Structures are given as structure tokens and as C-alpha cells.
Amino acid sequence: MTQEIKVTVKSEFIKKYKDGYPLITKESIQNWDKITDEGSLLNLCDEKGGFILKAYYGKQNKGYGWVLTPNKNEKIDSTFFAKKFQSAINYREDFYDDTTTTAFRVFNGEGDGIGGVTIDYFDGYYLLTWYSLGIYEFKSDIIEALQKTVTYRGIYQKKRFDSKGKYLDEKDDFICGERADAPILVKENGANFAIYLDDGAMVGVFLDQRDVRKTIRDRYAKGKTVLNTFSYTGAFSIFAALGGSIKTTSVDLAKRSLPKTTEQFEVNNIDLINQEIIVEDVFNYFKYAVKKNLLYDLVVLDPPSFARSKKRVFSAFKDYVNLLKEAIQITKKGGIIVASTNAANFSMMIFSDFIAKAFKELKGKYEVQERFSLPKDFRVSDKFKEGNYLKVVFIKKLK
């Protein structure tokens, strides 16, 4: 039986939680000293003891847990989770029916009613990603609920939290069913991706950029030279090549980017002769490109929100303006910059200000062609705008 602890919500936060805000913050609770174990259920009450909401305790980034239900008597068990999963699956019926796309998000954390866990679908395989020890304490109920709700070939997991030495007996990411091939091939809008479900923290593609990749292929790539920076496994380059680009150049600091990107081209039967893959610090490559007078028709900027290498620290909030200035200098007049960030600590409005500042400092002019945020399967709660972290702007360089 999971422990339930009565905690008091500070008066200035009560309305916010009653209105549907799902994240439990440190400053909203009066008596954290009562709580020791992640995974504890919290009965949030006002100062008179009146029940408000039921939540769980689990540290994730700057949060301390997530709301589960406004019903005091609702049991948090496999039946509870199964209802949430079924609702999420019903919302994504059209994805299951689409034979051209066999990889998508099935359950998007707080957007689907349970913060701290996501579930992705890869051609019959399901991948659970746990973001806190707190939600992981509900693992058995959650897996049982998923097994009740879906037909699956296999279920895998990724732990994105510090387990402090616990769970050392879990030697790999496989949970149950049949083991997946390494890789399995999935489809996205007709293209192929090689996916590894049991090979480190990530699988080989970020599903939240699906609509952006399709747009590049269908409307921007034909006859263009493309520079894909922070390229990871080259997903944007794949779609540019499939869209008829003259040449793609993929640049990433990680040594794995060369074999991984090569593999993605190969599974799409793309001739490598016009695809350049460079293992290099992106900022060093910018300097090289300026020195060699290289100019591109389309430049993709999709850096991590925060990264540390031996020589530099990159923060999207602090450094994106300078990153854009570097890209502007090697983009042809009339060319397109696809500026993207997954940083959740600033809005699309602030991101748009970054773009304006970068062009102003270079005395340039630009025109926004289109904007993107998270696709439909990455469902976002309208009570938790921070959950809509993805910001992508297609920018045309006029001067």
C-alpha cells in the first residue's frame, strides 16, 4: 500500500491548483518535512484541512511531483493508469491507422494526465521513459495497465533520473514481450528510421520534430544546399535529401554521429556521394565556413537546450542569439534558417525576440515563413503551457 501523506498548500497557490495546474512546486507546500520517500502519495489540503487534490512526490527538474486526481477516494492503481492510457490511445487513433508513420508518442506525461512518464510507439513496441524516481515507484501498476490496454510485440524502458545505485539488477531496457531487432526500422511520413530500443539513453530520432522534417522535405529542400547543425543521427538531412536537395552537410561533435547518420541514409537508399557528414564542434565549423566563404540555401539549427564540451558551455537562453548570428553569416540571401529549440524556460515570444535581436545586430532583414510547436501526439495541457517546449521558426534571410 503506497503511503499517503497529508500536506498543506500555501493559500496563494490553492486557486492555481484548483484551476488545473499539474506541477507540484517546492514553494507551494508548507510542510515538506513530512515527506521523505519519492513515490509517496500526497493529499493536498488547505490550511483548514480541506482536501484539494491527490498527487505524488517525485523530483523532476525543478518540480517536486505531479497532480494525479481531484478525487480523494480514487485509488492509484493499475485500473487508474489503464483509464488514462486508454483515453490517450483514443486521442491518437489516427496515428495507429497511418501506415506511412509507425513511430509516435502514445502518452505525453502531464498532457495526458500523469506527469513524469511518457510512452512512445515504435511499430508494435512500446517504450516507457521515466523522469523521476517518484513515478518509477508505480512501475508495476503502470506496466500492468499498459499490458491491459494495448497489444504489443515488446515493452522497453528508459530511466532519465538518478537512481542513486538502486535497480542495478536491471541490466538492460527490455521489460517484457519479444526483444526487438537492433535496429528495428520504423516509418515517418514514408521515410525510414533505424531505431535502437536498448542502446543508451536515446533511440535514434526525436519524434517531436516530425512535422518540421516533413515541411523541409515537401516545401524547402528541392534543389537546395543544406547545412544540418547539431545533427545527431541526421534526421533533418534525410528528409532534405528525400526532398531533392543538391547536397546535405551534417555536423555534430559526437563521434557516433558519423556511423549513425550513414546508417539512416543507407536505410533510405540515399546515395552518400552528395551527403557530407562531419564530426566537429558546430561553432568551429561556423568559423571554417566563414573562412572558406561557404554559403547554404538552408541551415538547420537544433541545439540542445544545454550542453557542455571541453571548450565551452552552451545555454539556449543565454547563447541562442550568438548562434543565430553565426548561422545568418553563412546563409545565402533568400535562404532559409530553421531555428529550433526544445528549451522550456522561455516562450515563443522570447524566442522571436532572439531572432529579431540577431538580425538587428548584424544589420540584416528577415521574414518569418512559418512557426511550429509540438505535434498532435505530444499532447499539452492548456493549464501547463511550459509543457509545450518546442519552438521552431522558418526564417527567410532578406539581407
Q: Which stretches within 159-281 are classed as H helix?
A: 210-215, 235-242, 257-267
Here the cell at position 194 is: 533505424
- Domain count across the chain: 3
* Phi, psi for residue 105 in degrees, rounded to 5: -90, 130
What integer pLDDT is reported at residue 201 of this predicted model?
Answer: 80
Tell me the C-alpha distance between 300 and 236, whole Å. Answer: 8
Same domain, 82 and 47: no
pLDDT of the chain, 399 residues: tens digit per residue = 567 899 999 999 999 999 999 999 999 999 888 888 999 999 999 999 999 999 999 999 889 999 999 999 999 999 999 999 999 999 999 999 999 999 999 999 999 999 999 999 999 999 999 999 999 999 999 999 999 999 999 999 999 887 665 554 566 799 999 999 999 999 999 999 999 998 878 899 999 999 999 999 999 999 999 999 999 999 999 999 999 999 999 999 999 999 999 999 999 999 999 999 999 999 999 999 999 999 999 999 999 998 777 777 888 999 999 999 999 999 999 999 999 999 999 999 999 999 999 999 999 999 999 999 999 999 999 999 999 999 999 999 998
What integer pLDDT is reported at residue 312 of this predicted model?
Answer: 79
Same domain, 234 and 137: no
Same domain, 231 and 280: yes
In-domain check, residue 194: no
In-domain check, residue 184: yes
What integer pLDDT is reported at residue 131 of this predicted model?
Answer: 95
Alpha carbon 18 to its chain's center:
28
Same domain, 64 and 82: no
In-domain check, residue 123: yes
Cross-sheet strand order for the sheet of 4-8 = 4-8, 41-45, 51-60, 63-69, 23-25
- 108's CB contacts (< 8 A; 6+ apart) are 88, 118, 377, 378, 379, 380, 387
Final residue of a structural domain among 17, 48, 69? 69
CATH code (residue 48): 2.30.130.10
In-domain check, residue 328: yes
Same domain, 184 and 280: no
Tell me the C-alpha distance between 269 and 297, whole Å. Answer: 24
Same domain, 153 and 302: no
What integer pLDDT is reported at residue 307 of this predicted model?
Answer: 78
What integer pLDDT is reported at residue 170 of this predicted model?
Answer: 63
Same domain, 249 and 364: yes
Here the cell at position 226 is: 543544406
Same domain, 163 and 113: yes
CATH code (residue 144): 3.30.750.80
Same domain, 264 and 392: yes
To the question of pTM greater than 0.85 for the whole model, the response is yes
CATH code (residue 313): 3.40.50.150
What integer pLDDT is reported at residue 233 of this predicted model?
Answer: 96
Tell me the C-alpha distance between 152 and 143, whole Å. Answer: 12
Helices (H) and strands (E) in the chain, counts: 11, 21
* Structural domain harbouring 32: 4-69
DSSP helix/strand/coil, 183: coil
Burial class, 257, CB count within 10 angstroms (exposed 0-12 / middle 13-18 / buried 19+): buried
Which contiguous run of DSSP H or E holds residue 247?
strand 247-252
Final residue of a structural domain among 46, 69, 92? 69
